[in-house]
Structure 1
């Protein structure tokens, strides 16, 4: 519901909101410019003195106005001809034309009404309402994504468009809420939908005398120019007229013959609120705030573009679930925790099967967990993938925190199904954490936790039969995994290693597939990728893809991976048998959690065997000469020193600051964790200085590296766990 409330106003009103914010951002510059260029009055100058100086220069002066920027403008008649000028308060003389800035006037009309009068004002008010809806719903979505208010500025992961969208939003949202709210207030005021202020009536009884000098009037002498808004002079020859003074405190009338105060009305609280809102919206009187709000408004077009990309990616990555019932009416609630979108495919299959069995089913992300809404639920089924080393996937952020904060567990029993790959050490770790938290909360179980290995349709069908037995219905889950759109990659070169140590390994380089301009803009498939992202290879004779880390980025002009032939390995056997000119079918999957980032802090890259692939890609792409220290473990330098030819070149070019190798098949077996211990002092210094550690390779190697770093860092009070919490220790292990 919140996501739909956020999506559709944004998509439908994108053009209108863009015009509104861009014109508003442009207008925010004018108050600051006016403040800088307008002659400012001395703090000791009074209204009486100023009026006397201007009246001396322009005897026919009718009105003096002071803008919130401090600019003073005088209006007069000289022998029947009107005149106006910006006044230097030190002399009372005009120093600049008072004619309005035509660009500012044009932008103001565009911003207020699109040059369409009252109809345009209503349209722009609708745009402001849409922006307010987007801002408030966006706050709820960001809070849900990062796992609560306390994590508002937590590190983000996921596709670039989504991260940019949220990063801009969580900075600009305060300004957008303020600007849209004040815009709606001002529109309501324009159409007289708000109460007016109190203005004193013109006194009937006046002295009937004329000629009292403004510089002698007590109230004008006591009022600083800094408080002036407007001083209107009596109409010449009309003894019944009076001076009208408007200040920050109120409005009053002064007798032109005696200088006495005839009537005074203070500004009401309502008027002060209205004026404050006007100041906040226009920046008049708060130029710095106006510029800040203008800068925040500039984020709206960027959020609009990235929001469209996120929407398009969501439509591609998540299957459409037909017949999704409202949460309050559903008998079965499906909560989905997915990172790349594949778990949503299983949810769609389950949703369809349950619906065909006569159930009312509601599917939603785990991050939308709201047990108070599940009034009719008889069961809750959680489908949870795992991200990285046991972390929550993108659509499950905050689920465990919400469950822990709940007063009690839901009454409807729960079943947890985990999705993962048994070759990874953290197999279904997040699903296990969910099951453990549910048990600790006293949540009744519908079924014991179960798992699906490598998106196995057979495992899913087996679990579905057990679920049907628990529900008392026949449930046949026939799931056909939907893989991303694939490309055909042509091998252009290969380099072979490892035959002497019975570990055949190859660096395979494929030609870069062509990409249309649109694909490049939206980042579809191989149109945009970085070293460390994953490539999915579809081996012949299997519907389950195998994932390999990329050793190249799009800017390198080729697709490169490092593959070791595994005993009995279907995919690795086919890949290592490829010859130049032959092809494979592949797709790209982002891996934003294993990227070096854009800072200049040192990098410590640690890998062994084929784990060198993405690390070599990081070094190759280090055009900014970031300090990189690479620790690489191999069996023997004569057989499997992967990228051995490039390493000296990268060092000479400044892409690689230090290379430390460890040889495990030499006279004295030496592993990469031993190399770390030998460089303990330097490693500890780098980490104290903010270095980021990246580990890639087998799980046993990664465990040994973590133990070695724990020893090295113990005297500093740091540890791998602390570095992981800070986002400075990441792993890509298998």
Structure 2
């Protein structure tokens, strides 16, 4: 389904974008018509209005009422035909009728690309392409979110993935509607489906006329509300046997000009009614609200195309080409990969190269491509990422179903990739490990999880696997780094020396411009991660950002770790020193855009992004910060900034505790003491964000579970709603 969705989107991108863009422009026409149309006051009848028009315009031949309610009279005067807009209340002409040349041109573009029948066919294919994309996208979205009930849960992933998901949830119903109706109308155009059935408007001869009566006195027209009128054709002047021909929303009839009787009436067929209803849904003609919804849905298509292309390209770029990949039938080692964004494939390539060096015939494939059996395989190795909080990633969603029919009996090992900030760390990989064991396969090494793509965790697992296989398996995985930017250290502030826990706040700026180059920071937001590769290492370290690029600086907070290669490098970096960095977006750790309370919880250097969120709280959202340190005189990080934020309303409350002072404690104890406040804020819909060490985050989770138990809530329940976010390390 994902391959189909990607292929259809890429193949038909320009066509679909064109149709959506022109469709959006056309959706403005009913809105413009509604604004410019002269409305009728009261409940006027066709007889009343037609009589007034005939008196003001003696040569009137036809009276046409558009879907918007605009009345147009077509006249013949001294051999000159004209069309004028009339006021329904007075029947007087208010100006010449001049259809919009612009909307007429866009209509032809949208319906046929100005290419006649061939263009109509292309438009029909475009409608089918949008339909296919909408259906496949909806199915993928349901699978990604974990079922229909979770369809509107908080989305996760990169910025492009989140935007793509949110746009799809907004626009998919409208896209399904417009694509289905568009395909139907195209089928009617090519007579693949009937617009009507039989002779809808068969003519019945008029009765012998006794002369024309005043139009206002004609009963059949007097009984017809103006709102039901589509078109009224007047009898030929001087022909007493001619009749009024009236077309309404219900059908077509003929009215005697002398008696006012309805001589015959042919109602619309079911096909005609269906076509008119579908036309209304597709165009919004006469229904500005529908037109607005159709237009907004159409606007999502170009954005979906752009974000979808970015997601496809990112996944494709991060999936390496594995040279020397053995055929699956001849391989003695099968490596299956489950990945959402593609990073797990890089680890698979490293494992493939190391095993191949040891003389193994290795085949690497996606977990979804599990075969029914592998004739030569002695071992099956699964590298499975976990998407979100325990879900299967894109390339592994079919694996467990296919495993039920798996007939081979190789030994196996499962290595999970995940993020310990989620409650179900490597949850899907653990499920795969248990399922393979339940099939009776022998486990080579215990199940292991890799936290945040740690090269060290990967190497340690490889060493254990090599021992079990009787070979030296050295897995030195060096991820391909993105392009870097060079920054200069502008300011440093040291904390924590008195409590033997040095923490430094570093502020970097772009180097001064050199000609047309340099002088600009990369784009980033508070809470994103900056990757820094320290001297003597190929593996980046990541730090949460306390600033946004709009601040004109890049700010991080670094605790000195004993033997920590990067932390020691940064602590020794003097002002004016340079580093090379890259940005990794962290959209899953960002406050929502609402006005509900925000609870920020951090300890030590984990307060850095939280202080950044406070700094950027320009709308004065109620923000409550809980902070834990060692000693207020030594490591009360960002104290001055936070006190200023308290004074100007960007911070509603600051609750701090310190473990090395009398009566102090840890931040989780502070939360327990403030349980009533927490329950009140959560009852108001507060979002909770936690940043800091893993042990601290686990303690905070337990404390909040205890605090919220009287409300029948838990951290897991809040996480499902996107109301509890963690950035733990």
TM range (shorter): 0.7 to 0.9
Unaligned runs of 5+ in 1: none
Matching of residue 494 in structure 1 with residue 492 in structure 2? yes
Q: 1:624 aligns with which of 619, 626, 637?
A: 619
Determine the structure 2 residue equivalent to 1:274: 275
Q: 2:588 aligns with which of 584, 593, 596?
A: 593
Between the aligned partners of 1:179 and 1:218, the Cα distance in structure 2 is 41
Matching of residue 183 in structure 1 with residue 178 in structure 2? no
Number of aligned positions between the proteins = 712
Matching of residue 156 in structure 1 with residue 150 in structure 2? no
RMSD value, Cα: 4.3
Offset of residue 153 of structure 1: 0.8
Determine the structure 2 residue equivalent to 1:690: 685
Quick check: 299-308 or 322-331, which moved more?
322-331
Offset of residue 274 of structure 1: 1.4
CA contact (8 A) 2:350 2:476 kept: yes
Q: Specify whether residues 297 and 36 from structure 1 end up closer, same or farther in structure 2 by C-alpha distance, changes over 3 A only.
A: same
Determine the structure 1 residue equivalent to 2:504: 506
CA contact (8 A) 2:418 2:426 kept: no
Q: Specify whether residues 84 and 588 from structure 1 end up closer, same or farther in structure 2 by C-alpha distance, changes over 3 A only.
A: closer
TM-score normalised to structure 1 length: 0.83
Deviations 1:512-544 (A, max 9, x none): 47999xx99xxxx97222232223332333333
Between the aligned partners of 2:710 and 2:462, the Cα distance in structure 1 is 52
Offset of residue 155 of structure 1: 0.6
Determine the structure 2 residue equivalent to 1:434: 431
Q: Specify whether residues 625 and 50 from structure 1 end up closer, same or farther in structure 2 by C-alpha distance, changes over 3 A only.
A: closer
CA contact (8 A) 2:606 2:691 kept: yes
Unaligned runs of 5+ in 2: none
Determine the structure 1 residue equivalent to 2:211: 211
Determine the structure 1 residue equivalent to 2:479: 481
1:26-425 aligned at under 5 Å gives the runs 26-41=25-40, 45-197=44-196, 198-199=198-199, 207=207, 209=209, 211-213=211-213, 214-215=215-216, 217-236=218-237, 241-254=242-255, 263-320=264-321, 336-338=337-339, 341-349=342-350, 362-363=365-366, 382-386=382-386, 391-392=390-391, 395=394, 399=397, 409-412=404-407, 415=412, 417-420=414-417
- 1:17 is paired with a residue whose SS is helix
Deviations 1:647-700 (A, max 9, x none): 333333433333232222224453323333444443333333232222222333
Between the aligned partners of 2:330 and 2:26, the Cα distance in structure 1 is 49
Offset of residue 41 of structure 1: 4.9
Offset of residue 100 of structure 1: 1.4
Quick check: 308-317 or 127-136, which moved more?
308-317
Determine the structure 2 residue equivalent to 1:604: 599
Q: Specify whether residues 335 and 273 from structure 1 end up closer, same or farther in structure 2 by C-alpha distance, changes over 3 A only.
A: farther
Quick check: 666-675 or 419-428, which moved more?
419-428
Q: Specify whether residues 132 and 706 from structure 1 end up closer, same or farther in structure 2 by C-alpha distance, changes over 3 A only.
A: closer
Q: Specify whether residues 183 and 386 from structure 1 end up closer, same or farther in structure 2 by C-alpha distance, changes over 3 A only.
A: closer
Deviations 1:213-232 (A, max 9, x none): 35555543443333322222
Offset of residue 26 of structure 1: 2.7
- 2:634 is paired with a residue whose SS is helix
Determine the structure 1 residue equivalent to 2:441: 445
Q: Specify whether residues 432 and 8 from structure 1 end up closer, same or farther in structure 2 by C-alpha distance, changes over 3 A only.
A: closer
Between the aligned partners of 1:574 and 1:304, the Cα distance in structure 2 is 43
Deviations 1:477-536 (A, max 9, x none): 8855333344444333322222222223222233347999xx99xxxx972222322233
Deviations 1:237-284 (A, max 9, x none): 567754433222322345556666555433221121111121111212
CA contact (8 A) 1:491 1:583 kept: yes
CA contact (8 A) 2:492 2:506 kept: yes
CA contact (8 A) 1:551 1:559 kept: yes
Between the aligned partners of 1:12 and 1:562, the Cα distance in structure 2 is 46
Between the aligned partners of 1:155 and 1:327, the Cα distance in structure 2 is 39
Matching of residue 582 in structure 1 with residue 577 in structure 2? yes
Between the aligned partners of 2:419 and 2:85, the Cα distance in structure 1 is 77
Determine the structure 1 residue equivalent to 2:694: 699
Between the aligned partners of 1:202 and 1:599, the Cα distance in structure 2 is 61
- 1:631 is paired with a residue whose SS is strand
Q: Specify whether residues 329 and 69 from structure 1 end up closer, same or farther in structure 2 by C-alpha distance, changes over 3 A only.
A: farther
Q: Specify whether residues 257 and 330 from structure 1 end up closer, same or farther in structure 2 by C-alpha distance, changes over 3 A only.
A: farther
Offset of residue 725 of structure 1: 3.5
Determine the structure 2 residue equivalent to 1:528: 523
- 1:639 is paired with a residue whose SS is coil
Between the aligned partners of 1:717 and 1:247, the Cα distance in structure 2 is 59
Q: Specify whether residues 671 and 245 from structure 1 end up closer, same or farther in structure 2 by C-alpha distance, changes over 3 A only.
A: closer
Between the aligned partners of 1:112 and 1:89, the Cα distance in structure 2 is 32
Offset of residue 175 of structure 1: 1.0
Offset of residue 44 of structure 1: 5.0
Deviations 1:525-566 (A, max 9, x none): 972222322233323333333332222222222222222222
Between the aligned partners of 1:111 and 1:101, the Cα distance in structure 2 is 15
Q: Specify whether residues 217 and 434 from structure 1 end up closer, same or farther in structure 2 by C-alpha distance, changes over 3 A only.
A: same
Between the aligned partners of 1:209 and 1:333, the Cα distance in structure 2 is 92
Between the aligned partners of 2:264 and 2:323, the Cα distance in structure 1 is 71
Between the aligned partners of 1:512 and 1:640, the Cα distance in structure 2 is 28
Between the aligned partners of 1:155 and 1:328, the Cα distance in structure 2 is 42
- 1:527 is paired with a residue whose SS is coil
CA contact (8 A) 2:218 2:257 kept: no
CA contact (8 A) 1:535 1:586 kept: yes
- 2:633 is paired with a residue whose SS is helix
Deviations 1:301-321 (A, max 9, x none): 222333333334334444356
Between the aligned partners of 1:29 and 1:258, the Cα distance in structure 2 is 44
Q: Specify whether residues 335 and 166 from structure 1 end up closer, same or farther in structure 2 by C-alpha distance, changes over 3 A only.
A: farther
Determine the structure 2 residue equivalent to 1:543: 538
Offset of residue 135 of structure 1: 1.7
Between the aligned partners of 2:328 and 2:70, the Cα distance in structure 1 is 58
CA contact (8 A) 1:49 1:221 kept: yes
TM-score normalised to structure 2 length: 0.84
Q: Specify whether residues 360 and 707 from structure 1 end up closer, same or farther in structure 2 by C-alpha distance, changes over 3 A only.
A: closer
- 1:245 is paired with a residue whose SS is strand
Q: Specify whether residues 430 and 283 from structure 1 end up closer, same or farther in structure 2 by C-alpha distance, changes over 3 A only.
A: same
CA contact (8 A) 1:464 1:476 kept: no
Quick check: 277-286 or 542-551, which moved more?
542-551
Quick check: 288-297 or 212-221, which moved more?
212-221
Determine the structure 1 residue equivalent to 2:667: 672
Offset of residue 296 of structure 1: 1.6
Q: Specify whether residues 199 and 87 from structure 1 end up closer, same or farther in structure 2 by C-alpha distance, changes over 3 A only.
A: farther
CA contact (8 A) 2:336 2:364 kept: no
Between the aligned partners of 1:208 and 1:426, the Cα distance in structure 2 is 87
Offset of residue 291 of structure 1: 1.8
Between the aligned partners of 2:136 and 2:122, the Cα distance in structure 1 is 21
CA contact (8 A) 2:124 2:182 kept: yes
Quick check: 14-23 or 147-156, which moved more?
14-23
